[in-house]
């Protein structure tokens, strides 16, 4: 009997011992986790209880999380669902291929997002659809795989582009679209108009059918309006940037040498410059010198009786003739024959020095040439490292349009000026 009781006692004592050992071991592990917060996923600060995660977290079935919190699965291919849905309501008309981030609340008076930096606003999108972005240096929007500009706004895709700044457009605003005709009041790539009266507008465009650029001021209700250049003053120049060596002057039009026109012009005239002389060509193709100093001809005239020579010169390509009249000599002869005076010659204080002015012009033209050559080098570098075909084509077109001014050679005064006392050491 005693042996049986002793055996039972030993048996149950053993059971109790192992049970207590199991409880102790299990309890010790839990206590260890609680007492060692570096290993526990839970922490508290007296007010809040939060989970401490020492590793990146991946939500969804996918590869190892790359960041602290990753959505490790692709969005469902559905027009009504989003991988991360901020409103827990189905989307309406979303992408059939799926959406990563979406929201479609039934009502919202606040904002979808509001990003700030040190209490300073950076970007806000209200639920009403108002987008505000503070961007430095500027905002870039691109439909392609790369952003071709580093400043301004640029969109690509479809028939129209808008761009500003960056290495491609060099600070220009670019608006592209095919336009046929240049006489309409609503035709052009760029339209700037009034707010109160939207009929008032200035149109800048390129007639891509006729390869003609145009600027026009219009009132859509009544027709064309006057167009004013430099309303506050200063100068307008055509085909050149050079300035007068002594005094540039203000409120004038400067026309630089180009290719002289030939032939008729329906109901119009042409003003142009050849060899620095102003000429006018009428509708019939007759060109007349308006600044009356044809240097080669005046250089053949004697000084006597012509202290300030001038001549009339005209030509017509259909007749194949040129006429030059020594007007100063003719008036002098008439005065001598008639005994009457038709010319009054007065003295003026001389301004400037011919050689000094030539040095000034040479310096300006050398600067213009250096700037053009520098731009050429810049374009060639950009072309060599540009992979985007559209951007490369734009750069090639800029290079083709670039004009390199020739080296300026200082020249002495024409013979008729030397003959009348203008000094110069230049040949």
pLDDT at 165: 42
d(CA 225, CA 311): 40
> Is residue 169 predicted with pLDDT exceeding 70?
no
What is the reported pLDDT for 308? 93
Residue 30 confidence (pLDDT): 40
Residues 6+ apart with CB under 8 A from 86: 101, 102, 103, 112
Which range has the worst mean pLDDT, 61-75, 187-201, 349-363, 398-412?
Answer: 61-75
Predicted pLDDT of residue 331:
94
Question: What's the pLDDT at 179?
Answer: 79
Name every residue whose Cβ is closer than 8 Å to that of residue 417 and which is 6 or more positions away in sequence: none
Quote the pLDDT of residue 150.
40
Give the pLDDT of residue 182: 62
Task: Say yes or no to pLDDT of 151 above 90.
Answer: no
Identify the top-confidence range among 37-46, 77-86, 179-188.
Answer: 77-86
Nearest of 81, 124, 127 to residue 106 by alpha carbon: 127
| Contact predicate 310/323, CB 8 Å | no
Q: What pLDDT, in 10s, does the model give residues 214-229?
A: 898 988 888 888 998 8
- Please say if the pLDDT value at position 28 is more than 80: no
Cα–Cα distance, 250 to 84 (Å, whole number): 64
pLDDT value for 80: 94
Q: pTM, whole model, 2 decimals?
A: 0.56
pLDDT category of residue 389 using cuts at 50, 70 and 90 = confident
pLDDT exceeds cutoff 90 at 324: yes
Query: What does the alpha-carbon distance between residue 322 and residue 316 come to, in Å, rounded to a whole number?
Result: 7
Three-state DSSP at 43 gives: strand
The per-residue pLDDT of the chain, averaged, comes to 81
Q: For residue 108, what pLDDT is reported? A: 93
Q: Could you tell me how far CA 389 lies from the centroid of its own chain?
A: 19
Least confident piece of the model among 10-14, 216-220, 277-281, 386-390: 10-14
Q: Judge if the upstream peptide bond of residue 137 is cis by omega within 30 degrees of 0.
A: yes
Q: Provide the pLDDT for residue 278.
A: 93
Residues 274, 315 contacting (CB under 8 angstroms): no
CA atoms of 376 and 374, how far apart (whole Å): 5
pLDDT at 166: 43
Contact, 335 vs 343, CB < 8 A?
yes
């Amino acid at each position: 009997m005693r042996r049986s009781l002793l055996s039972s006692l030993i048996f149950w004592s053993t059971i109790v011992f192992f049970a207590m050992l199991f409880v102790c071991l299990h309890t010790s592990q839990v206590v260890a986790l609680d007492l060692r917060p570096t290993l526990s996923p839970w922490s508290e600060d007296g007010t809040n209880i939060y989970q401490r995660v020492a590793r990146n977290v991946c939500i969804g079935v996918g590869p190892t999380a790359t960041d602290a919190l990753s959505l490790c699965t692709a969005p469902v291919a559905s027009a009504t669902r989003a991988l991360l849905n901020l409103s827990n309501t189905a989307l309406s008309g979303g992408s059939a291929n799926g959406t990563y981030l979406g929201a479609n609340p039934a009502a919202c008076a606040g904002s979808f997002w509001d990003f700030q930096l040190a209490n300073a606003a950076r970007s806000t999108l209200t639920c009403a659809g108002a987008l505000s972005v503070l961007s430095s240096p500027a905002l870039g929007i691109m439909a392609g795989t790369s952003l071709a500009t580093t400043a301004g706004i640029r969109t690509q895709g479809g028939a129209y582009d808008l761009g500003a700044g960056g290495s491609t457009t060099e600070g220009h605003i670019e608006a592209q679209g095919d336009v046929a005709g240049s006489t309409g009041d609503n035709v052009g790539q760029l339209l700037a108009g009034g707010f109160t009266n939207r009929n008032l507008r200035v149109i800048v465009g390129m007639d891509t059918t006729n390869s003609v650029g145009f600027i026009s001021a219009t009132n859509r209700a009544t027709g064309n309006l006057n167009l004013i250049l430099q309303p506050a003053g200063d100068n307008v120049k055509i085909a050149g940037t050079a300035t007068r060596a002594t005094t540039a002057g203000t409120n004038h039009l400067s026309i630089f040498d180009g290719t002289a026109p030939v032939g008729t012009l329906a109901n119009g005239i042409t003003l142009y410059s050849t060899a620095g002389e102003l000429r006018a060509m009428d509708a019939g193709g007759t060109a007349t010198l308006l600044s009356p100093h044809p240097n080669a001809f005046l250089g053949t005239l004697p000084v006597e009786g012509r202290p300030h020579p001038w001549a009339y010169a005209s030509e017509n390509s259909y007749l194949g003739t040129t006429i030059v009249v020594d007007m100063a000599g003719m008036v002098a002869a008439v005065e001598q024959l008639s005994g009457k005076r038709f010319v009054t010659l007065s003295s003026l204080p001389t301004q400037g020095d011919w050689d000094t002015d030539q040095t000034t012009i040479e310096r300006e033209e050398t600067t213009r040439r250096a700037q053009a050559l520098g731009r050429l080098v810049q374009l060639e570098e950009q072309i060599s490292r540009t992979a985007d075909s559209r951007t490369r084509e734009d750069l090639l077109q800029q290079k083709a349009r670039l004009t390199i001014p020739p080296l300026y050679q200082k020249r002495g005064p024409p013979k008729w000026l030397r003959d009348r006392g203008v000094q110069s050491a230049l040949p």
